[in-house]
Structure 1
Amino acid sequence: MWIGEFHDPRLVEVYDAECPWGWDDDFFMAVLAERSAHRVVDLGCGTGRLAIAMARAGHEVTAVDPAAAALAAARRKSGGERVHWLQGSAGQLPARSFDAAFMTSHVAQSFVDDEEWDGVLRGLRRALVPEGRLVFDSSDPAFEPWALWNPRDSWRAVVLPDGEAEAWSEAAEVEPNVWHVTERYRFADGREVANSATLRFRTEPELRASLREAGFRVDTIYGGWGREPVGLSGDGEFIVIAVVAPRLMS
């Protein structure tokens, strides 16, 4: 998980500035509309951009995140009163209470350890109704998303209400397909803040195997926000749609 967003409201403000509504949000809203799914859980909801949009579209939304500062910002947003906000994790969700579950903005990459990832998947499977859908995104490691995580290529200006902040990224490989990433920010008043996380980039076979072990059946994996096949889009994504599989009788 990103460490800074747990404690620093200033970084929550930066997150909102750097992550406006995008093609990925359009994709997730379209997928949600494809099947009846009145009750939705958004795990790793951050500052609530997508959760609030889902609620405005008429869905009953529970939005979950461990970061208190992010949830506080989400509650203050217009439409935030429509969402049930929960500080916590997938393990706290009630059984068979949701028709669909979403993990967006590459939240899946934050679960580095296989046991932790399996716990998240099993918690979501337990929370979903039979045939409920799980939808999430994760970067395809074949596209080496970390290649631009260096000060020269990642430098950017972030426009905030009280002026611009400079931002850049640094990264170091911990083990194959596992990277420790630090986002650094220098604000107009001279203050500098760092926000770090360790991220795991699972391959398609690894994702499929973990979903199968947790009790899901993979419906589709896209490679881009235009629903391109894996490997044929410059987006470099794994966009996964999985369905709760029936339990086998012993």
Structure 2
Amino acid sequence: MSARISTPSRRLAAIGAVLALVVALVAAGIAIGKSAGGGSGKPKASGDDAALTYDPQQPTYDQLEKTTSRRTDGDPLAIGRTDAPVVLVEYADYQCSYCGRFTRETQPELIRKYVDEGTLRVEFRNFPIFGKDSERAARASWAAGRQGRFWQFHDEVFAKLRKGDALAEDKLAELAEKAGVKDLDRFRTDMNGSDAAAAVKKDQEEGYSLGVQSTPTFIVGGRPLAGAQPLKEFEAAIARAKAVRAAEAGDSAAQKSGK
């Protein structure tokens, strides 16, 4: 059973972060790349189950889905078909306990029920918010992806909560070896290279431009879902997004037929 934060001040802070994300999404439209940093405080890990309500026909969210879901062929940080009707984008930090909980408890079910059948695509974004150790782990995950082992490495790191020295370079290399990364010298070179730093920075800047303030934060079909949500919240969000895509496809078909 998922643990919940019960301290009122922490619950209000988490809800405030969700509301700030919604406001930022609506304000941003499709203008990704414009900084949305402000006076909301430093990003943090979020464990609250603060559900969102929104209009499934809101065009702003449809625009954001098209902008935030990259749908790139061969993207090592993504799983699922590029033409899946729904894309879940996750912004996460490898030192975030709630991100680990999602990886261990919720993501396998989403893959089994939705990714494998072609309904859902999952795209991971490195969003390190806890300093140098988080940044190193993010670069390491990108480096593992260069050898086709991102998800295996990702799951190894999140198999338990790891902080500080547990994410030192030698420890990350050990995890990479366990994840099936064959060329560890290349892994270390890639992890410490400028391309890895640029890739992580790109993901960070995208998240900040959207107003992401906590980890994990998810965007499902262009709509935000923040914190350690139960499986049913993801299922509801996927169903809504799938219904919107189906309606759009129906409208498009009707227009083409002249009806």
Q: TM-score by structure 2 length?
A: 0.29
Point out the structure with the larger strand share.
1
Relative contact order, higher structure (CA 8 A, sep 6+): 2
Higher helix proportion (structure 1 or 2): 2
User: TM-score, normalising length from structure 1?
Assistant: 0.30
